[in-house]
Amino acid sequence: MTSSALTKPQMRGLLAKRLRFHIVGAFAVSLGVAAFYKFAVAEQRKKAYADFYRNYDSMKDFEEMKKAGIFQSAK
């Protein structure tokens, strides 16, 4: 019975191939984690502060706190 010869399997360099694949993967994953943190947390925080202070009225804030009765020096 004839059958086509099987292709010779890769017999050398298996660890090197695995390492190469996973080192690239490791850097990609860690850079992805860092990018995620930067955009989901760091940039969001900067934006939150910028948005808060854009139209912030400290006197209005103070009057509300004074009405709530929290100050010793301003009743």
Partner 1 sequence: MACPFQMGLQDATSPIMEELLHFHDHTLMIVFLISSLVLYIISTMLTTKLTHTSTMDAQEVETVWTILPAIILILIALPSLRILYMMDEINNPSLTVKTMGHQWYWSYEYTDYEDLNFDSYMIPTQELKPGELRLLEVDNRVVLPVEMTIRMLISSEDVLHSWAVPSLGLKTDAIPGRLNQTTLMAMRPGLYYGQCSEICGSNHSFMPIVLELVPLSYFEEWSASML
- Positions in the binding site for partner 1 (CB under 8 A): 14-15, 18-19, 22-23, 25-27, 29-31, 33-34, 37-38, 41-42, 45-46, 49, 53, 56, 58-59, 61-62, 65, 70-74
Provide, rounded to whole angstroms, the least separation between the CB of residue 7 and partner 1: 21
Provide, rounded to whole angstroms, the least separation between the CB of residue 8 and partner 1: 19
Q: Which two tokens stand for residue 75?
A: 């009743």
Distances (CA, A) of 25 to 13, 31, 35, 36, 67: 18, 10, 15, 16, 57
